Every structure is written in structure tokens, then in C-alpha cells.
Amino acid sequence: MEKDVHEQYEYARRRLRQKKILYFHFVLFLLGTLFLFIANRFFDFGITSSNQNWCVWAITIWLFIFILHFIKVYITDRFMNKNWEREQIDRLVALQQKRISQLESKINDDTENKI
């Protein structure tokens, strides 16, 4: 029973760390967005004649990366955790055992038919 409690604790600790890093990423995104906007609009940093809105592109790319991080933490890792991995491994092992037993019975039937 203690092993299960320890596994639950480790899972909770790992999930808490993932969420903490995601929240830090969000705050960093907000501050970075503000910095990029101010640098572009008020300080004319990086302005060229062909690309006046470079900060919009940078913010959009960063937002896309943040969305991928969010999906990983709240969707992918939530459902595809250790229990899911164990279930998938058990299912695949069961399928392999079933296939092996089918092949063994087929070999036994073939050897009996030849005799």
C-alpha cells in the first residue's frame, strides 16, 4: 500500500511542478509581450520600412508556443500518465501472449496432422 501512496505523491508533485512552470511561462509571456510592444511602439526598436509590426509576429509565435505548452500540461499529460502507459503496456502484452498461444496451437495442430 505504501508504494501506491508514494506513486500518488510523486504524480501529484510532478503535476504541481508542471502547472507551476506553465503559470511562470504565462507571466513571462505577459511581461515579454508588454516589453515587445513598448519597444516597438514607443522606442522605435527594430523598425524598418518593410516590417513595422515585427512585435506582432513575435508575440503570435510566442502565443502559439504557450498554447502548445498549455495543451501538453492540461490535456496530453493529464490523460496519458503512468496509469495510461501501464494499461497500454498490459494490453499489448496480452495481445502478444494471445498471438503466441495461437501460433503455438497452430504449430501443435500442424505437427499432429503430419503424424
Specify the pLDDT at position 52: 67
**What is the spatial distance between Cα 31 and Cα 81, in angstroms, rounded to a whole number?**
32
Distances (CA, A) of 80 to 15, 42, 76, 77: 12, 45, 6, 5
Going by pLDDT thresholds of 50, 70 and 90, the confidence category of residue 76 is confident
Q: Return the number of other C-beta atoms located less than 10 Å from residue 73's C-beta.
A: 17
43-67 pLDDT per residue, tens: 766 656 556 677 888 899 999 999 9
For the chain, what are the domain ranges?
A: 2-80, 82-115
| pLDDT tens readout for residues 35-44 | 988 887 777 6
| pLDDT for the residue numbered 48 | 60
Nearest to 32 by CA among 70, 2, 65: 65
Q: Average per-residue pLDDT in the chain?
A: 84
- Write down the pTM of the prediction: 0.64
